[in-house]
Each structure stands twice: as structure tokens, then as C-alpha cells.
Amino acid sequence: MKLLEERIRKDGVVKPGEILKVDSFLNHQMDVDLFNKLGEEFKRLFADRPVNKILTIEASGIGIACVTAQHFHVPVVFAKKAKSVNLDGEMYTTKIESFTHKRTYDVIVAKKFLSEEDHVLIIDDFLANGCAVNGLIDLIMSAGATVEGVGIVIEKGFQQGGRILRQKGIRVESLAIIESMDDRTGEIVFRQ
Amino acid sequence: MKLLEERIRKDGVVKPGEILKVDSFLNHQMDVDLFNKLGEEFKRLFADRPVNKILTIEASGIGIACVTAQHFHVPVVFAKKAKSVNLDGEMYTTKIESFTHKRTYDVIVAKKFLSEEDHVLIIDDFLANGCAVNGLIDLIMSAGATVEGVGIVIEKGFQQGGRILRQKGIRVESLAIIESMDDRTGEIVFRQ
């Protein structure tokens, strides 16, 4: 998506360790007018899918998921990072490893918010090694619900998450895919 | 706000310990079409204020803040709960005690996203003892920015947070204020 690539070039900062900082518009300060255009694009891309629920994970996925959901007129459910999992049987749980925080989280969704009838679109801000998305898919499968697709704002194409998901036959639509980036020059190359 | 009160009566569950569960539409599953109407109401209530930024706190404030921001056409900044505060001088920090989780968090906002020029509207899902809102006000004051007001979806009117904020002269607009609730009968009384 041209508009997003231009914004990443303008405001994104490449840091050592394959980190792209986009905290001025995506995941700390959030440009909701931009989010609205991204949401519209997700709706266009997944218009053929019978989506009745959007699933994301706290915290930085929630904003883009909610704005996107307005274009689908469906509710959003966000998976919660739990300190301690309450094993009372009311929750679906999985484990997700965080690339940014170098730790593993227990992640939960209340059973009452995911069921066999649900056709779920996963929305998240970043896709890198795919741990978060795989965890969300795991939660959807536990509920017997259907994964209709995965909508990502920025995919790090040089990491394996997107490739593995697509190989599994999951439809992944990323609005910008970064082929390579260089923290010395700041150069960012997008996949065409 | 009538529509919201009706929804709380219909889907809210009163639990022992002064807990109101509204996770089916507000803070786990999120009804974004409802959020849109709440955001419109916040815009109407704060139409006279020169708001150029909305501040909230992760995680459950982010959705309502983003949808509300669409009506103001301003960016959202969300304060982050930090595991360890990086004292490199690039962050405003404060401490917030969580009513729900019975612990204290370090909460941060990057300095570059709050400045003297900012006129900030705080948006959050709940107001009870006011710890979260007071922490956000603390961050805004640290930046020399102006607090234009506080917009809350559900205020627990029987706790002191809202009263203390209003006594300090801060404009607080809560879309529903609960006067009392009873976990045995499930009855909820709203302030008129």
C-alpha cells in the first residue's frame, strides 16, 4: 500500500537488531486517520470472506483492529497476556514468545467469545517470526472456529513468519512488506 | 447516555467485590459500532475544547480512544505499562496502582509524544478510584501540556475517583455513572 510505504519511509526509524521503530504513528502514538485508510484496505482485501469477528492481541494490535472492525461492522476480541492462567476451564490459553520483550507470555481468550460459529480475521500491527499470529490461530483452532485470514500492517519479509503461514495455506495480507532494511543508511526496501 | 445504560443493564454482570463485568462489549470483546456512538458523544461533550491529542492507557482504553479519536481527527497516544523503566531521559514516567490486578505499574510515555503545545483529552473505559487517570494527568503535567478533560465510559460513582477529580476543577464526563450495584440481585442504579 503506497500511502503506508511512504509513511514508513518518512517516519520509520531503522535500529540495529532488525528493529523498525514506527512508534510515531503505529504503536505508541497512533494516527487514527491513517488507521482508517488501512482498515478500508483490509475490508477491500477480505471482502470475499464471511468475517464475523476480528481477533487481535494486546496492546498495540487493539487500535488498528478496532478501526478496521468499523469497516466490517463486527466485534473485536483481544487476546490478553496473562500473569497467571486461571485454569477454571473458562479460557482458551496458549503461549506466545515475544520478539520485542524476549520472554514468553500466557495468552488467553474467554471461551464465550470464540465458538465454532465464528469466522475470524486476525489483525495485528507487525508480523515477524509469526509467534503472535500462530498463538492466535491456536486459540481459534481450540474453539473450533474458522481462520478466514490474517491482516498485517507491516510484515518483516526477511523473517520467516509470513512465509510459513502462507505455506500452511493461510491467507495473509500485509499492507507493507519489508524486503530489507539497513540501520546504517536507514534505507528500507519494500517487496513489490 | 441512555443507550449505554441499557447495554450495561442488558449485558453487564455484577460480581462480589464491587466488580462490574462488561467484557462482552467493552474490555475483552469490543462492540465497535457502540464505541462509535460513544465517541460521537465524547465529541459532542468536548466540542468546545481545543483537543489536539487523546491520551489513554493500555490495554482496554486503546479501542475506545482510537474510535473516539476518529471524531476529533487527532492522534492517540497510549501510556505503556513498563516492566522496567529505562531511565534514559526519553520517557515521562509515573506509577499507577491497579484496582483489578492489585499491583503497581510503572507507566511511561515517550517525551516526543507529549509537549507544552498539547491540549490533551484523556479517554478510558473505567473510572473507579481514579489511579489510572491521576497517573495520566501526572504524565501530562510533566510535559507541561494542558489537560482539556477526561472522558470515561463507565464511572463507579460510589468510589471516590470522579469526585476528587471534579473537586480539583478537572472536567470529567462519564457516559454512565453507577450510583450503586448489588451482586446478589444484579441490580444497577445509575446517577441521573
pLDDT digits (tens, 9 = 90+) for A28-74: 999 999 999 999 999 999 999 999 999 999 999 999 999 999 999 99
Q: Residue A8 and residue A20: Cα distance in Å, rounded?
A: 9
Whether B151 maps to a domain, the answer reads yes
Q: In the predicted model, what is the mean pLDDT of residues B6-18?
A: 96
What's the average model confidence in pLDDT over B30-39?
98
- Out of B24, B32, B59, the one facing A69 most closely (by C-beta) is B32
Q: What is the DSSP string of A4-59?
A: HHHHHHHH-EEETTTEEE-TTTTSSEE-HHHHHHHHHHHHHHTTTS---EEEEETT
Contact A32 B113 (CB under 8 A): no
Contact B139, B78 (CB under 8 A): no
What cell numbers appear for B104 in the block? 503497581
Question: CB-CB: which of A29, A66, A80 is closest to B67?
Answer: A66
What is the least distance, in Å, from the CA of A142 to any CA of chain B? 18
**Is B192 part of a structural domain of the chain?**
no
Structural domain that includes position A123 = 2-190
Mean pLDDT of B175-184: 97
pLDDT exceeds cutoff 90 at A169: yes
* Residue of chain B whose alpha carbon sits nearest to that of A108: B28
Mean pLDDT of chain B: 95
Measured CA to CA, the distance from residue B185 to residue B32 in angstroms comes to 29
B interface test, pick of A26, A62, A70, A98 with most B CB neighbours within 10 Å: A62
Q: Looking at the 3D structure of chain B, how many domains does it have?
A: 1
Q: Spell out which chain A residues touch chain B, with contact meaning CB-CB distance below 8 angstroms.
A: 23-25, 28-33, 35-36, 58-59, 62-63, 65-67, 69-70, 73-78, 80, 83, 101, 109-110, 112-113
Model-wide pTM > 0.90: yes
Q: What angle do CA B160, B166, B171 make, to 5 degrees?
A: 130
Q: Peptide bond before B59: cis, by omega within 30 degrees of 0? A: yes
Look at residue B20 in the predicted model and tell me its pLDDT.
95
| Residues β-bridged to residue B181 | B188
Whether pLDDT at B110 is above 60: yes
CATH of the domain at A76: 3.40.50.2020
The model's pLDDT over A179-188, given as tens digits with 9 standing for 90+, comes to: 999 999 999 9
The grid coordinates listed for A125 are 500491527
How confident is the model over B58-101, as pLDDT tens digits? 999 999 999 999 999 999 999 999 866 655 669 999 999 876 67
